[in-house]
Homo-oligomer: A and B are copies of this chain.
Amino acid sequence: MAAAQRLLVDIHTHVYLPRYASFLRSRTAAPRIFSRTTPQGLTEERLLILEGEPSEGRPVGPQYWERDEKLRFMDKHGIDVSVVSSANPWLDFLPAATAHSLANELNVDLEAYCSTSPGVPGSMLRRLYGFGLLPLVPEVAVSSLLETVQQIAALPHLKGIIMGTRGVGRGLDDERLEPVWAALEKAGLVVFLHPHYGVDGRAWGEKENGHVLPLALGFPFETTIATTRMILAGVLDRYPALKLLLAHSGGALPQLSSRLASCIAHDPAVTARLQHDARFYLGRLYFDAVAYGSEELGFVSDVIGRAGKYAERGASAAASRDGGAEQRRRGSARVLFGTDHPFFPPLGESAKWKSVVENLEAIDGVWGWGDAEKQAVRGGNALALFDLHSS
């Protein structure tokens, strides 16, 4: 159906569901939502995600929890379909029993949020689909995680899960997660890997830079580390059909992937336990297009497109010299438009959000992508990955 080929699909867009927002309001430690009076005498709610965050967190309002706000944002930017995920820090901070029950409730809430959303005109699609939550916290029983995977798999508008990088307390290279990867792979659920913690804040020094360093660098570093640890632990070897989608275009993983391959090649013990050159695994991953620049997106598609050359351990680093354009087009199939809404809101009364406009312009400007690749990144790749049938 020709119209479906032109849909704009946002796969990186967040919500604090009303139940979750209420829960955050009840808390006295981060993460929490609190009210304060502004110097102008107005009452505002602020979200504090991490203790000691700069600027006492950030202002929050209905765009964080009201579905109508999400739909208005989508309409303003021409977004036909959004695959919505809870925003960090999810359930990471909760005791296991609370995390399990709240996950189940929020998954049901999100299913309703999606299933009752308007339809996309001229297609069988709804405007909203979702990523569910697992109770990924220390001390949780693996059976709780597996039950929740089954719950999500049975909710027709939930197409995946979003998760942070801590797993059940020891990261995503923890063998206790093996049955969870197996279940997610079998269910065909997309795993959206998203940062929250960054890296140790002492690295940012003593100067006042607001959220710039933890957001611009810490977030992508965290995603890079988590994915690399999964590769090194053999998770991608054991679950080759696992659909792993990386936030923020994979952070720094693409740019450091050949260095990673070289460091592995110089360590016989690590080399021996992996089936492939490190660069091969990037061809198994999916990357959002939330990188704000055309050159970045083109490069991400290069590292995806080259991955097939690195199936063998110790493969030669030599690029096929004439393959650059074809390789770049091929790699575009695993890059997917996203906005990061409702974060990075406009500073002024602009009609459109700068962050969204930039990410759309970035797709449009990639050197070597034709119209077919650009449209696939805007929506077609998402329809395929999430198995969304428009007719």
State the A residues within 8 Å of B (CB): 170-171, 173, 199-200, 202-213, 215-217, 220-222, 224-225, 228-229, 232-233, 248-249, 251-252, 254-270, 279, 291-296, 298-299, 302-303, 306, 316-321, 323-325, 344, 347, 354-355, 358, 361-362, 364-368
Contacts and interface: CB of A to CB of B under 8 A. Distances in A.
B248 A229 contact: no
Contacts of A258: 291-293, 295-296, 358, 362
14 contacts: A173-B207, A204-B229, A209-B267, A216-B262, A220-B252, A220-B259, A251-B256, A254-B255, A257-B293, A258-B295, A292-B317, A295-B319, A298-B299, A299-B302
A197 to B, nearest CB: 9
Contacts of A207: 173, 229, 232-233
A209 B292 contact: no
A260 B221 contact: no
A215 B252 contact: no
Residue from A207, A228, A270 having most chain B Cβ neighbours under 10 A? A207
Complex A-B, nearest 10 residue pairs according to Cβ-Cβ distance, in ascending order:
A324-B367, A258-B293, A319-B365, A252-B252, A200-B200, A294-B319, A258-B292, A299-B299, A216-B263, A255-B255
A344 B258 CA distance: 14
Given A317-B362, A362-B258, A347 B216 contact: no
Contacts of A269: 208, 210
Contacts of A249: 255
A232 B324 CA distance: 35
Contacts of A256: 216-217, 220, 251-252
Given A217-B225, A217-B256, A368-B324, A170 B295 contact: no
Contact of A267 (B206, B211, B228): B211
B224 A217 contact: yes
Contact of A296 (B255, B291, B294, B324): B255
Given A207-B173, A209-B232, A292 B344 contact: no
Contacts of A295: 258, 299, 302-303, 306, 319
Contacts of A279: 293
Number of copies: 2
B317 A268 contact: no
Contact of A347 (B233, B259, B268, B317): B268
Given A199-B200, A215-B263, 20 more contacts: A173-B205, A199-B199, A199-B203, A204-B225, A205-B229, A210-B269, A211-B263, A216-B256, A217-B224, A220-B259, A221-B221, A248-B259, A251-B252, A257-B296, A262-B292, A262-B344, A266-B344, A299-B299, A319-B366, A321-B367
A213 B222 CA distance: 12
A188 B205 CA distance: 28
Contacts of A293: 257-258, 261, 279, 317, 319
Contact of A298 (B171, B302, B317): B302
A46 B256 CA distance: 28
A216 B228 contact: yes
A170 B202 CA distance: 10
A292 B365 contact: no
B318 A364 contact: yes
A219 B76 CA distance: 42
A279 B362 CA distance: 14
